[in-house]
Homo-oligomer: A and B are copies of this chain.
Amino acid sequence: MITILHGNLIHAPSFGTLETIPNGYLVLEDGIVQGIYPTLPEQFAACPVTDYGGGLIMPSFADLHLHAPQYPMLGMGMDLPLLDWLDTYTFRTEARFEDTDYARRVYRQLAEDLITSGTTRVAMFSSRHTDATLILMEELEKAGVTGYVGKVNMDRSAGLSQEKTEESISETLRWLENCHFDLVKPILTPRFTPSCTNELMAALGKLAAERDLPVQSHLSENAGEIALVGQLHPDCPQYWESYEKYGLWKDRTLMAHCVHSDSREQAAMAKAGVWAVHCAASNVNLCSGTAPVRELVEHGVHVALGSDIAGGDQLAMNKVIVMSIRASKIKQIETGAPFLTVPEAYYLGSTAGHTYFGGGAGFQSGHKLHAIVIDDSSLPEPTRELTLDERFERAIYLMDKRHIQAVYSEGVRRV
């Protein structure tokens, strides 16, 4: 079945490219992009059109690093040092997800918040709880948020949230057996090297290889953490090698942060096909620093963006995009590396993440539509008619969910 969307089409098919089609037509066949056109081809003249008038139709957002059970602590504890923040808020909050009723309520609210904010693909950390993780996956699927979710593994230095090693492994197996979702798939999630014993890391690496499962974790977020990994793994010259040793450093492994990744670590990422997930708000909130995003891109590392709630305080990915621009401007002041332009940062927070999951580059034909429609008519009255490039930039900076008129995920309108 053919359906057609009419409006101003804007997409970023590659890093640094922004293409606009004023008053264009996006043709879908069973939710799959068939093509984008400045005028409607004759053959589709009789097909139904959803007319978004002057609205902006753009690929939706993809959030490749966030902690679902930290949603209840969003915007709190931001004045605390990292370890106090973990003890006072993070571990206690995550422990609460033992309660499946509570998990259901919070995860339903999170899923709703994500889809109405235009985020249609995620790579997400759950807590250690198998049942709550399955509930999270179910709620995301119901809301139309697709991607990967991981039950967290942590059998060391994780306070209230800690597991025993055997329990961590057996619960991971139980979780995998119960992952029967169409749009939300499992990803192995050792929290990070300091919170996993060697035995657990080895078991997860084996599982990743045997079942061809993707992996997500954290890398080189701050100096204390890097030093600790050095103590725990004296045989590893660098942090990333603690993952490589156990088979967790592989194609499509997602590594959040990479704030302090030097050129050797970056080269190892590029070589293995490991992705860096840049979380600018979190890195500033926790005084971790500003990640070398431009350098990572130039080294051939795949980069995507993450909200990293609740180290990050903003779930809306347009705000995350803006924060990544701001962080890159700080980086430019420090090092001279050119800042991320709005189209570049939007690419990282949208198309880059979509392609991680096999999605299309912008509105590439042959891929299920993931898109948002923005009504910017309530933004301040400009002095003259704006170009689509200007309206795009302004929307990224100023919009919130009130301006999101429609959201399409996997070819289906969900908002």
A398:B75 contact, CB within 8 angstroms: yes
The answer to whether A383 and B92 have CB atoms under 8 Å apart is yes
- A74 beta carbon closer than 8 Å to chain B: yes
With A285-B329, A329-B284, A341-B79 given, is the CB distance from A102 to B383 under 8 Å?
Answer: yes
Q: Kindly list chain B residues whose C-beta atoms are within 8 Å of the C-beta of A290.
A: 330
A382–B78 CA distance with the chains assembled, in angstroms: 16
**A186 to B396 CA separation, bound complex (whole angstroms):** 35
Main secondary structure of the interface of A (DSSP, over half): helix
CA distance A393 to B113 in the complex (A): 20
A96 contacts which chain B residues (CB < 8 A)?
Answer: 383-384
CB distance from A107 to the nearest CB of B (A): 11
Q: Which residues of chain B are within 8 angstroms of A329 by Cβ–Cβ distance?
A: 284-285, 287
Q: Which of A59-77 contact B (CB under 8 A)?
A: 71-77
Q: Report yes or no: B72 in contact with A380, Cβ–Cβ below 8 A.
A: yes
Given A326-B284, A329-B285, A383–B79 Cβ distance below 8 Å? no
Closest to A113 in B: B380
Known contacts A313-B398, A330-B330, A342 near B78 by CB under 8 Å: yes
Copies of this protein in the assembly total 2
Answer whether A332 and B287 are a contact pair too, CB < 8 Å, given A381-B106, A383-B93: yes
Question: Within the assembled complex, what's the spacing in Å between the Cα atoms of A384 and B96?
Answer: 9
Task: Check A47 for interface membership: any CB of B closer than 8 A.
Answer: no
B78 touches A325 (CB 8 A): yes
A330 B284 Cβ-Cβ under 8 A: yes
Decide if A394 touches B76 in the complex (CB within 8 Å).
yes
Is A109's beta carbon under 8 Å from chain B?
yes
Besides the contacts A76-B393, A313-B398, what 15 more A-B pairs have beta carbons closer than 8 Å? A72-B381, A74-B397, A78-B397, A79-B342, A93-B383, A96-B384, A102-B383, A110-B380, A113-B380, A284-B329, A284-B330, A285-B326, A287-B329, A313-B397, A402-B402
* A residues in contact (CB < 8 Å) with B: 71-79, 92-93, 96, 102, 105-106, 109-110, 113, 281, 284-285, 287, 289-290, 313, 322, 325-326, 329-330, 332-334, 339, 341-342, 379-384, 386, 390, 393-394, 396-398, 400, 402
5 sample A-B contacts, Cβ–Cβ < 8 Å, listed by A number = A76-B386, A76-B397, A110-B380, A281-B326, A287-B333
Instruction: Please give me the 8 A-B residue pairs with the lowest Cβ-Cβ distance, nearest first.
Output: A75-B397, A96-B383, A75-B394, A75-B398, A79-B341, A313-B397, A284-B326, A72-B382
